[in-house]
Amino acid sequence: MTDPTYWTSVPGPLGPLLLTAAPTGELTSVSVPGQKGGREVRDDWRRDPGPFREAEEQLTAYFAGELKEFHLAWRAEGTAFREKVWDALDDIPYGSTVTYGEIAARIGAPRAAVRAVGGAIGANPLLVVRPCHRVIGADGALTGYAGGLDRKVRLLTHEGVLPA
């Protein structure tokens, strides 16, 4: 028998956020409705808001404009390459953007790896808290966002990157 996955739903301006956590309490995913590759509640999961109190408080503060950096215990599992890309997301400051090419350079990947970087960013299981919405195309275009471009626009507007 495998360890249970805990889950809860938190209301927010992007729609209800589905949060999952490991039995040890680390946040393992944040998904929005209709997200490409997002998680959906399974029958063997346990609904329990207990492990998510801190995440819910920080998400509420973020959306209220009172928090610029998340301080949560999380565990995202992926390939070594994906984990390196996801770690690079953590270094993008609130209210700023970087390009996929800049992420590739930060992790020491060749310029030709930009598509692979984009794929890894698209597979980020921790939307909002790991700011993949802050990554844009080399020409400044708001390319790709697993949660939908409308949500990417909302997040970047919230952070002051785009005009309200």
- Of 138, 137, 141, 134, the C-alpha closest to 157 is 134
Length of the chain: 164
- Catalytic annotation on 132? yes
Provide CB contacts within 8 A for 1, sequence distance 6+: none
Distance CA 152, CA 138 (A): 16
A 10 A CB-CB count for 149 gives 12
The residues near 140 (Cβ < 8 Å, ≥ 6 apart) are none
* Active-site hit among 17, 113, 127, 132: 132
Sign of CA dihedral 37, 116, 124, 131: negative
67 within 8 A of 110, measured Cβ to Cβ: no
Catalytic residues: 132
